[in-house]
Amino acid sequence: MKPGERVFPVRVHRTRLHVLGRLEVARIIPYEEAADELTKLPDWSPLEGGCASEVLVGPPGTPLDFGTTVPGELLERLTYRSRRAERRLRFVEDGRLMRSIGLQGVYRLAPESAAGLDRLVDGAAAPAAGTAAPGVSPG
């Protein structure tokens, strides 16, 4: 990871992949040096004693949304990129994720896959016509 990159936290539930939101990374802080940043969070205790070695800090990202399901056609095209090659997400059958082992960790998305998740998150974050998002005044 490096500043300027985007992070998409995901969750798997009942063979469906949910993208929870998006955060743009501004800084990466070693966990041992992040106490000032972490104490600003309402509840950072789950990170204590865990396996976190770094903390990603950025401006407020999109609101967390547990209802945004990655459509089957996007799930089937989801591709990761490494220095050596690109690979599709494994264990996808008929638009469903049969095993989540391929999602455990942090992976770099191919540009087309990142753009697909961006569109999905932006669509989920858009308020319905005639309404305002929480904390945002219309006009």
pLDDT digits (tens, 9 = 90+) for 83-119: 889 999 999 999 999 999 888 888 899 999 999 999 9
- The strand pair at 54-57 and 79-81 is best described as unpaired
- Under a CB-based contact definition with an 8 Å cutoff, are residues 39 and 55 in contact? no
Is the model's pLDDT at 25 over the cut of 60?
yes
Q: Is pLDDT of 43 > 70?
A: no
* Residue given tokens 């399901």 in the structure block: 69
Rg of the chain in Å (alpha carbons): 17
CA distance 43 to 32: 17
Q: What is the band of 131 on the pLDDT scale with cuts at 50, 70, 90? A: very low
- Statement: the pTM of the whole predicted model exceeds 0.85: no
- Judge whether 4 and 58 are in contact, CB under 8 Å: no
